[in-house]
């Protein structure tokens, strides 16, 4: 049983404030959906929890089961059970998936995993995500398609078995079949070892598979609205305009007025009136 | 006296930096002159032509200026070295006869193990002469000659004289001249026509005595349609004063023949390594240099292929890792003399902790090298702000139909890559090592597996705690 507790978190990038006084608690077994227009801080929140050096915490705290996450290095956070399936997984030439994963698994073990055991686990994960069998011997993310990269993140997640799992638009770039595959793999892992999950997606379809227990809307660096699944339904059909109006938010205040991009990744037609 | 006193405090950072004390049976004393050369030749009971060759080489060495390029060598005191050192009274044919101290050293290096596991033959050089030599019967049955070079001169004088010094004459450069004067030991390989050796032949070289120059001479002749892989490993103990290593390697690759020569040079960081390696390749033949440079204080090494027959192919993949106080000046030379010859150079350099690594390469397409093709790729990874690297390529084409491609990159380790690996639980050091190992993967993938594993461990040892 794990609890991730974010309190009054403010974060800047290059002295530009992105998150302000954000608070959120995620417990094992819970799936939190994080929604909101682009450029409002969803990825920032996830990256900050993971420890991305580009983000500077200016205020607040992040605790994992009472331990101060902000004082941990990135690898310590990983070993403590935090995992981030990244929006843009990095390519590492010359390093095979299997060498990398073996080292990542061994990083959290007293004694190194036996090779036989490792390959059994890896082959299982590759099979579950219907990746090509040569994945183990390919270089980490190098030359992978967008969808392969995203699936490979979930292969890693399955093998590393985090207690807190964060998915940053893992579903974008996946075709319809792959989306279901990835969702099933996540749910399978979640059922055997319940995680606390923080999921960023623009797709109702992905959330339909995952059945989030909590839904939050992040605008201008703060969670301004939380609810349950019906919130996803409403955003999917109506967009964010009603939230702006209801909470008196001027969307042009958002430094990055990139909400025009939304139409490309949200349900078609939902934003026609807003742009 | 015990040489262990000279082992400096950092010795435990260097895996093979042990010394087994002074066990020398005979040496020529410090310094170099006609008498030293005559003594070496006489002790070896050499024919007169070899003594003459040595003396001509010596005189050329004395008169020849230092190279006009590369790292500064002015500080080397050539009169401060011992040029010949005989460790054992005679070569031992049986491992059991090898003196205990030497055996312990080799045991630590794991040679008998390696031999059992995958080697077709082992010849090991301890200081100046081979002390242990063995070959599998299979290799003998195929008519392959694999000897230390001194024995080869005695047993196969005609074959020896036909090739010796013809590809790297003593007039080639100052250090080839030095080697010509005082050479001792090395490997001699002859692979007869049509013979293919499936397993690599291997030799270990080791400098044991302080201020001891080592000048091995290797001669490999691969006759037409024959194929061989030779693996040379180098490790040396650490001493407080610099040691000199100036080897010469000559390889003759016949028609439709192939030779692969794999080395990981891991001299301790007080050794000056000045090596001339050259192969001539006949029509449809292929020469591959797999050349790793991790150790030594100063390293100058540019394996060369002279592609003299049509469709001959030259390949050199190398790495150079330069750390604190190290200068790696390495590269490759491809000299195309015939039509349709092809060559590839892949060079990977890593500079860190103030080390300096330079790629120095030479590709020439002569007037007869119609339709020749060359590809040069050199990539450098610089790990900090105090290390440096230069790329000094020379590409010359003197005909209209040949092509030379050249690509070079210099980069730092990407923080995005480090972050990604750390987010999966690797420490910063582990992540850095993994990225470096990935960077040099085009080299490691060419190595026999045991070597790849050892290289991996050597670099890990070397890198640990070094990257902030």
- Nearest by CB to A78, from B422, B435, B440: name it: B422
Residue B9 half-sphere exposure toward CB, CA atoms < 13 A = 0
Over residues B313-335, the pLDDT tens digits come to 999 999 999 988 899 999 999 99
Task: Write phi, then psi, for B272 (nearest 5 degrees).
Answer: -95, 120
**Which of B377, B421, B443 has the highest number of chain A CBs within 10 A, making it the mutation to test binding with A?**
B421
- Is A216's pLDDT higher than 60? yes
Domain hosting A186: range is 3-93+160-265
DSSP string, B32-71: -SHHHHHHHHHHTT--HHHHHHHHHHHHHHHHSPPPSSSS
User: Mean pLDDT for chain B?
Assistant: 83
**Which of A92, A110, A122 has the highest number of chain B CBs within 10 A, making it the mutation to test binding with B?**
A92
Q: pLDDT at position A203, please?
A: 86
Q: A50 or B444, which is more confident?
A: A50
**CATH number of the domain that A83 lies in?**
3.40.50.300
CB contact under 8 A, B423 and A107: no
| Domain contains B128 | yes
| Domain contains A124 | no
Q: How far apart are CA B132 and CA B155, in angstroms?
A: 17
Please list, in sequence order, all residues whose beta carbon lies within 8 angstroms of the beta carbon of residue B362, skipping any fewer than 6 positions away. Answer: B302, B304, B331, B332, B333, B334, B335, B393, B394, B396
Domain hosting B424: range is 415-468
- The proportion of chain B whose per-residue pLDDT surpasses 70, expressed as a percent, equals 77
Output b/e per residue, B26-51; b: 16+ Cβ within 10 A: ebbeeebeeebbebbbeebebeeebb
CA distance A250 to chain B (A): 34
Which tokens sit at B183? 């050479």
**Model ipTM over 0.85:** yes
Q: Is the dihedral of CA B113, B116, B117, B122 positive or negative?
A: positive
| Domain contains B345 | no
B interface with A, Cβ–Cβ < 8 A, is 414-417, 419-428, 430-431, 434-435, 437-442
Determine whether B64 is exposed, middle or buried from the number of CB atoms within 10 Å of its CB (0-12, 13-18, 19+): middle
| Domain contains B96 | yes
Q: Look at residues B301, B333, B359 and tell me which one is the last residue of a structural domain.
A: B301
| Domain contains A114 | no
Q: Three-state DSSP class for B365?
A: strand
Q: Which of B197, B15, B3 is nearest to B110 (CA)?
A: B15
Query: How far is the CA of B318 from the CAs of B315, B405, B421, in angstroms?
Result: 10, 18, 26
Q: Three-state DSSP class for A211?
A: coil
Q: Look at residues B301, B332, B354 and tell me which one is the last residue of a structural domain.
A: B301
Chain B residues lying within 8 Å of A92, measured CB to CB: 417, 420-421, 434-435, 438
Please give the biggest Cα pair distance in chain A: 59
Over residues B213-252, the pLDDT tens digits come to 588 899 999 999 999 999 886 655 555 455 888 999 999 9
CA distance A244 to chain B (A): 35
Q: What's the number of domains chain B is made of?
A: 2
CB contact under 8 A, A104 and B426: yes
Over residues B432-468, the pLDDT tens digits come to 989 999 999 999 888 877 777 777 777 776 665 444 3
| Domain contains A115 | no
| Domain contains A196 | yes
Q: What's the number of domains chain A is made of?
A: 1
Q: Three-state DSSP class for A213?
A: coil
Q: Which of A103, A98, A96, A87 is nearest to A126 (CA)?
A: A98
- What are residue B346's DSSP bridge partners? B317, B377
Let me know whether B88 and B235 are in one domain. yes
Determine whether A136 is exposed, middle or buried from the number of CB atoms within 10 Å of its CB (0-12, 13-18, 19+): buried
Q: pLDDT at position A250, please?
A: 79
| Domain contains B166 | yes
Chain B residues lying within 8 Å of A94, measured CB to CB: 437-442
Q: Look at residues B240, B269, B301 and tell me which one is the last residue of a structural domain.
A: B301
Q: How far apart are CA B58 and CA B170, in angstroms?
A: 9
Are the beta carbons of B328 and B321 closer than 8 angstroms?
Answer: yes
Let me know whether B295 and B437 are in one domain. no
Q: pLDDT at position A264, please?
A: 37
Q: How far apart are CA B451 and CA B429, in angstroms?
A: 22
- Nearest by CB to A94, from B420, B422, B439: name it: B439
Q: pLDDT at position B88, please?
A: 54
| Domain contains A138 | no
| Domain contains B138 | yes
Chain B residues lying within 8 Å of A140, measured CB to CB: 438
Determine whether A115 is exposed, middle or buried from the number of CB atoms within 10 Å of its CB (0-12, 13-18, 19+): exposed
| Domain contains A137 | no
CB contact under 8 A, B426 and A103: yes
| Domain contains B131 | yes
Q: pLDDT at position A210, please?
A: 95
Chain B residues lying within 8 Å of A51, measured CB to CB: 419, 422-423
């Amino acid at each position: 049983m794990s609890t991730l507790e974010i309190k009054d978190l403010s974060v800047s990038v290059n002295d530009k404030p992105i998150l302000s006084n954000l608070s959120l608690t995620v417990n094992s077994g819970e799936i939190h959906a994080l929604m909101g227009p682009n450029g409002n801080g969803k990825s920032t929140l996830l990256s900050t929890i993971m420890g991305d050096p580009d983000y500077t915490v200016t205020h607040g705290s992040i605790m994992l089961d009472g331990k101060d996450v902000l004082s941990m290095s990135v690898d310590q956070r990983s070993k403590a059970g935090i995992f981030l399936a990244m929006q843009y997984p990095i390519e590492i030439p010359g390093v095979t998936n299997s060498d990398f994963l073996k080292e990542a698994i061994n990083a959290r073990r007293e004694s190194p995993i036996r090779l036989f055991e490792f390959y059994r686990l890896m082959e299982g994960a590759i099979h579950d995500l219907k990746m090509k069998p040569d994945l183990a011997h390919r270089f980490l993310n190098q030359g992978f398609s967008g969808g392969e990269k995203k699936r490979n993140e979930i292969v890693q997640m399955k093998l590393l078995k985090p207690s807190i799992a964060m998915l940053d638009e893992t579903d974008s770039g996946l075709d319809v079949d792959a989306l279901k595959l990835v969702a099933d793999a996540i749910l399978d892992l979640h059922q055997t070892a319940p995680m606390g999950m923080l999921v960023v997606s623009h797709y109702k379809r992905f959330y339909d598979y995952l059945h989030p227990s909590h839904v939050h809307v992040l605008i201008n660096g703060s969670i301004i609205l939380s609810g349950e699944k019906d919130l996803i339904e409403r955003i999917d059909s109506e967009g964010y305009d009603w939230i702006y109006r209801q909470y008196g938010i001027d969307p042009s205040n958002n430094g990055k007025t990139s909400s025009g991009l939304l139409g490309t990744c949200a349900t078609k037609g939902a934003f026609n009136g807003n742009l | 006296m015990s040489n262990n006193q000279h082992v400096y405090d950092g010795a435990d950072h260097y895996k093979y930096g042990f010394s087994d004390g002074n066990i020398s049976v005979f040496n020529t004393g410090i310094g170099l002159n006609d008498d030293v050369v005559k003594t070496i030749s006489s002790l070896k009971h050499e024919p007169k032509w070899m003594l003459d060759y040595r003396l001509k080489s010596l005189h050329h060495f004395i008169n020849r200026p230092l190279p006009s390029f590369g790292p500064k060598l002015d500080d080397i005191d050539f009169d401060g070295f011992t040029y010949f050192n005989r460790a054992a009274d005679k070569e031992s044919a049986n491992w059991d006869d090898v003196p205990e101290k030497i055996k312990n050293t080799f045991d630590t290096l794991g040679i008998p193990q390696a031999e059992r596991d995958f080697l077709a033959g082992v010849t090991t050089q301890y200081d100046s002469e081979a002390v242990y030599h063995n070959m599998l019967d299979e290799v003998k049955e195929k008519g392959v000659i694999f000897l230390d070079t001194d024995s080869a001169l005695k047993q196969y004088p005609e074959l020896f004289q036909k090739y010796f010094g013809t590809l790297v004459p003593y007039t080639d450069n100052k250090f080839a001249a030095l080697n010509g004067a005082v050479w001792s030991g090395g490997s001699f390989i002859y692979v007869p026509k049509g013979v293919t050796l499936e397993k690599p032949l291997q030799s270990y070289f080791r400098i044991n005595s302080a201020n001891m120059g080592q000048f091995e001479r290797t001669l490999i002749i691969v006759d037409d349609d024959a194929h061989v892989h030779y693996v040379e490993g180098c490790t040396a103990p650490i001493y407080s004063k610099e040691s000199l290593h100036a080897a010469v390697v000559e390889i003759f690759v016949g028609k439709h023949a192939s030779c692969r020569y794999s080395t990981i040079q891991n001299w301790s960081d007080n050794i000056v390594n000045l090596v001339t390696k050259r192969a001539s390749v006949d029509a449809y033949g292929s020469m591959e240099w797999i050349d790793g440079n991790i150790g030594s204080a100063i390293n100058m090494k540019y394996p060369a292929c002279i592609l003299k027959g049509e469709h001959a192919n030259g390949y050199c993949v190398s790495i150079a890792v330069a750390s604190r106080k190290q200068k790696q000046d390495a590269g490759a030379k491809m000299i195309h003399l015939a039509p349709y010859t092809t060559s590839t150079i892949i060079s990977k350099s890593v500079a860190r902790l103030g080390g300096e690594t330079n790629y120095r390469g030479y590709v020439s397409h002569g007037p007869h090298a119609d339709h020749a093709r060359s590809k040069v790729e050199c990539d450098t990874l610089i790990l900090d702000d105090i290390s440096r690297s230069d790329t000094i390529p020379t590409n010359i084409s003197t005909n209209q139909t040949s092509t030379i491609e050249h690509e070079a990159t210099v980069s730092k380790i990407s923080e995005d890559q480090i972050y990604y690996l750390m987010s999966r639980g690797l420490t910063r050091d582990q992540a850095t090592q993994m990225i470096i190992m990935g960077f040099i993967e085009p080299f490691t993938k060419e190595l026999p597996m045991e070597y790849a594993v050892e290289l991996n461990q050597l670099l890990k040892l070397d890198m640990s705690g070094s990257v902030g």
